[in-house]
Structure 1
Amino acid sequence: MKDLLCEIRDCKVCADHLPLGARPIIEANVNSKIVLISQAPGRVVHESGIAWNDQSGKKLREWLGVDDSTFYNEDNFAILPMGFCYPGKAKTGDLPPRKECAPLWHDKVWEEMGSVKLKIIIGSYAANYYLGKQTNLTEKVHNYSEYLPEFWPIPHPSPVNRFWRMKNPWFEEKTVPKLQDKIAEILS
């Protein structure tokens, strides 16, 4: 696993298409219990080199019911984005993750991981890749139990998604407490 992570962190496959250059962000080890499959690092994360070290990460840790030390313990959480590098800015939010990363690296990462109890699918890019495009993200999140025990889809915790959360208060009122219970059960 260590060799694979070094290889991924040295990847330059799409460097010419990235506004800030390549800086692949991934965190994992063979003992990781929960894998967070998300879209791609934002600019702040790119600059710091620390996954989820931004407002989205703060909200995600709140939803998961964990503190920073629990979150950044790789025995607890692996971080496997769809795109490992910051893709650039769009009109609202960031550009979609680069399409090269997941097909190139995800299967290799899964081959190294033997202790995974849950894969949390964060946002539509990861949901479409892992759960298919038959339904939209809101339906996937609302019907999360259909994907258990392997997957648990959630929306992206970005501040840009605050309108989605306002339109769908059931997520934070009813689903998040169940997710927190599941996380606590796995990590206990």
Structure 2
Amino acid sequence: MPLSKLDRLLAEIRACQLCAAHLPHGVRPVLQASASSKLLIVSQAPGRKVHLSGVPFDDLSGERLREWLGVDKAAFYDARRIAIVPMGFCFPGSARGADLPPRRECAPAWHPRLLPLLKKVDLTLAIGRYAQVGLLGAQAGSNLTDTVRDWRTHLARGVLPLPHPSPRNQLWTRRNPWFAEELLPVLRERVSLALGISRGGRG
């Protein structure tokens, strides 16, 4: 059976060498997508552990994100249901104990070709500041907190902005209790609807 346009593009992305000279740990694009994906997660870039495993969100951030979404690993890693497309597909390296920003070359090179092929997406999650600016452009707030606080406006356009689920951001969630009280219940409900999961159930 011949490969679909999306399959050919994913193979091209996984063979990409665009940023090779700037990646201290080497090239390893990490993403998942299918023409039938109903939920699109646009994140920042893989971390060191994800770079080693090649599995998106294969770390503590992933555990926390799945808790936020109310899905188990089986649903999360089913590309037929969930697409995971970072702003940078490869681990950019780290400095001073923190990961570097996604490479600037990546999203402009691939997103305009990839995202239009995900025609079944019902809900897009913009995780972290880089994803929010990349997806929302001028509609993003002046900072992450303002953008996430205005989630109702963005959700009306099909995009739900979230902070990064890194354990480093626990202080942010404590300082912004409205996130857990107001946004997370809506997030879980919308994810359940998109994936066809009965409310209160998983995967």
User: Which is higher, the Rg of structure 1 or of structure 2?
Assistant: 2
Classify the secondary structure of the residue corresponding to 1:156. Answer: coil
Contact 1:92 1:160 (8 Å CA) reproduced: no
Q: CA deviation at 1:116?
A: 0.7
- The alignment status of 1:130 with 2:135, answered yes or no, reads yes
Change (3 A) 1:173 1:90: farther
Classify the secondary structure of the residue corresponding to 2:61. Answer: helix
Classify the secondary structure of the residue corresponding to 2:94. Answer: coil
- The alignment's TM-score, normalised by the length of structure 2, stands at 0.89
Matched to 1:157, the amino acid is: P
Contact 2:89 2:106 (8 Å CA) reproduced: yes
Q: Percent identity, aligned pairs only?
A: 48
Tell me which residue corresponds to 1:145. Answer: 152
Deviation digits for residues 77-110 of structure 1 (CA, Å, limit 9, x no counterpart)? 1010000000111324210000011000001112
Q: CA deviation at 1:158?
A: 0.6
- Cα distance in 2 for partners of 1:45, 1:177 equals 28
- Cα distance in 2 for partners of 1:98, 1:146 equals 29
- The alignment's TM-score, normalised by the length of structure 1, stands at 0.96
Tell me which residue corresponds to 2:7. Answer: 2
Contact 2:46 2:91 (8 Å CA) reproduced: yes
Out of 175, 181, 190, the position equivalent to 1:182 is 190
- The alignment status of 1:169 with 2:177, answered yes or no, reads yes
Tell me which residue corresponds to 1:51. Answer: 56
Tell me which residue corresponds to 1:40. Answer: 45
For these two proteins, the number of residue pairs brought into alignment is 188
Deviation digits for residues 13-63 of structure 1 (CA, Å, limit 9, x no counterpart)? 111111110100110010100110000000000000000110000000000
Classify the secondary structure of the residue corresponding to 1:81. Answer: coil
Matched to 1:60, the amino acid is: L
Greater shift in the superposed pair: 37-46 or 110-119: 110-119
Change (3 A) 1:178 1:163: same
CA RMSD across the alignment = 1.1
Gaps of 5+ in 1: none
Tell me which residue corresponds to 1:78. Answer: 83
Deviation digits for residues 122-154 of structure 1 (CA, Å, limit 9, x no counterpart)? 000011111135421111111111012420000
Classify the secondary structure of the residue corresponding to 1:116. Answer: coil
Change (3 A) 1:134 1:185: closer
